[in-house]
Amino acid sequence: MKMLPEKAMIGVLGGGQLGRMAIEAASALGYRCHVFAPDGDAPATDIAAVSTRADYTDTAALTAFANSVDSVICEFENVPVEAMDMLANHVPVCPGGKALRVAQHRLSEKDNARTLGISTPRYAGVKDGASLADALSRFGGGILKTCRMGYDGKGQMRLAADADPLAAIAHLGSDDLILEEIVDFTAEASFLVARDHQGQIAVWPASINQHRGGILHISEAPALADILTPALWDEGKAAVIAMAEDLELTGVLAAEMFITRDGNLLFNEIAPRPHNSFHWTIEGAETSQFSQLIRVAAGLPMGRVNATGRWRMTNILGEDMPLLDTAMAEPGVYIHRYGKAEARTGRKMAHLNQRID
């Protein structure tokens, strides 16, 4: 695609912190942004040149948005595929309809990974009590997840082999579910690839992630070789590239993987957008995930993605606000506050980046 000139308008689907940080990167490159997001707290709208507040199914609003932008990125992975496909008829889009469709459904992202020869935990689609009972007995328990709309550990529950299937299904309130075996992992790693409209690829160093209550707490990168061996790094890198190419992805794609106790890499999930575990790239990589996404959307050549040292990213949730006050006084801690209205428990409010080498 042709390079967008300065002051061109980049459309941003979604109004959360990922959009906000993408707008910061766009601003540094001289672009303006138009955020499209439904009603509600949308911190990206505070720093956007233009905002439209409408549902993703509002075709009149989407058409006006399409006519006002030169390129579109997506910061929210549950934007309806129809909206993305419609926009793609007008302007270049990231990540593209196929990537969005596969990533929106846990069963399809795992099936897709398997088709590409990427190892996954054992899993089974669950529609009713009988299919859940069968899978629970085969896996000796497991984690039951809604196939759609889950995030930050929401929409999932851990089940023992003798759990009551109907009660579990009623609890999650869906008949579109997946049961996964419980993985005995020593670490969680994530991989991030950027792919531009010409098919050029760049892969950042991997992150090692710790969660608290199903929510990402800390990421450290580049992953050390005693946790992510060179062989596993090669495997993860090849996997994320294969998925990006298969999904005809444009922009950035993250993959979450388990490193098992017996030394294997198992695919968990993908996100076709900037990922929380790569927020360290803002100060810690030559080109951040946000800057790279804007570069792809604007048709600029991609930047280098090597890390500039070892970095730790710490999430600040609503209940961690005192920690943020302390960090404010610490030189060498880079603070990224999202400008959210309300500091609720479990809500991502900010993150801290710091060098650890």
Ligand X SMILES: Nc1ncnc2c1ncn2[C@@H]1O[C@H](COP(=O)(O)OP(=O)(O)O)[C@@H](O)[C@H]1O
Residue 289, Cα to own-chain centre: how many angstroms?
11
Cβ neighbours of 185 (radius 10 Å)? 17
> Considering beta carbons, is residue 209 or 281 the nearer one to Mg ion?
209
Nearer to ligand X, 34 or 279 (CB): 279
b/e per residue, 196-205, with b = 16+ CB within 10 A? bbeeeebbbb
The binder of 183, among Mg ion, ligand X, none, by C-beta within 5 to 8 A per type, is ligand X
Q: With respect to ligand X, which residue has the nearer C-beta, 143 or 300?
A: 143
Give the Cα separation of 78 and 151 in Å (integer).
11
Name the minimum Å distance from CB 260 to Mg ion.
17
Q: Which of 58, 80, 68 is nearest to 11 (CA)?
A: 68
177-180 and 123-126 as β-strands: parallel, antiparallel, unpaired?
A: antiparallel
Can you tell me the distance from the alpha carbon of 257 to that of 264, in angstroms, rounded to the nearest whole number?
Answer: 10
Contact partner, 214, from ligand X, Mg ion, none, Cβ < 5-8 Å per class: ligand X
Binding site for Mg ion (CB under 5 A): 256
127 interface partner picked from ligand X, Mg ion, none, CB below 5 to 8 A per type: none
Report which secondary-structure segment, H or E, holds 297: helix 289-297
At its nearest, how many Å lie between Mg ion and the CB of residue 41? 22
CB 164 within 8 A of CB 230: no
Q: Which is nearer to Mg ion, 256 or 320 (CB)?
A: 256
Scanning the structure block, which residue is given the tokens 């009590």?
129
Give the residue with the Cβ less far from Mg ion, 62 or 253. 253
* Residues in touch with ligand X (CB under 6 A): 121, 143, 150-153, 180, 182-183, 188, 211, 214, 256, 268-269
Least distance in angstroms from the C-beta of 40 to Mg ion: 23
In whole angstroms, how close is the CB of 265 to Mg ion at the nearest point?
A: 15
Q: Which of 10, 11, 17 is nearest to 275 (CA)?
A: 17
User: Minimum CB separation from ligand X for residue 115, in Å?
Assistant: 19
Q: Which listed option, ligand X, Mg ion, none, makes contact with residue 88 (CB within 5 to 8 Å by class)?
A: none
Of Mg ion, ligand X, none, which one sits near residue 118, judging by CB under 5 to 8 A according to partner kind? none
Nearest approach, Cβ of residue 269 and Mg ion (Å): 5
Nearer to Mg ion, 11 or 95 (CB): 95
Of residues 222, 204, 281, the one with CA closest to residue 22: 281
DSSP per residue over 112-164, as a string?
HHHHTT-----EEEE-SHHHHHHHHHHHTSEEEEESSS--TTTTEEEE-TT--
Cβ proximity to ligand X: between 127 and 211 the closer is 211
The least distance separating Mg ion from the CB of residue 214, rounded to whole angstroms, comes to 8
CB 142 within 8 A of CB 179: yes
Residue 222 beta carbon to Mg ion: minimum distance, rounded to whole angstroms: 20
150 or 318: CB nearest ligand X: 150
Cα–Cα distances in angstroms (integers) from residue 85 to residues 37, 282, 310, 355, in the given order: 17, 30, 39, 41
Given Mg ion, ligand X, none, residue 182, with its beta carbon under 5 to 8 Å by kind, binds ligand X
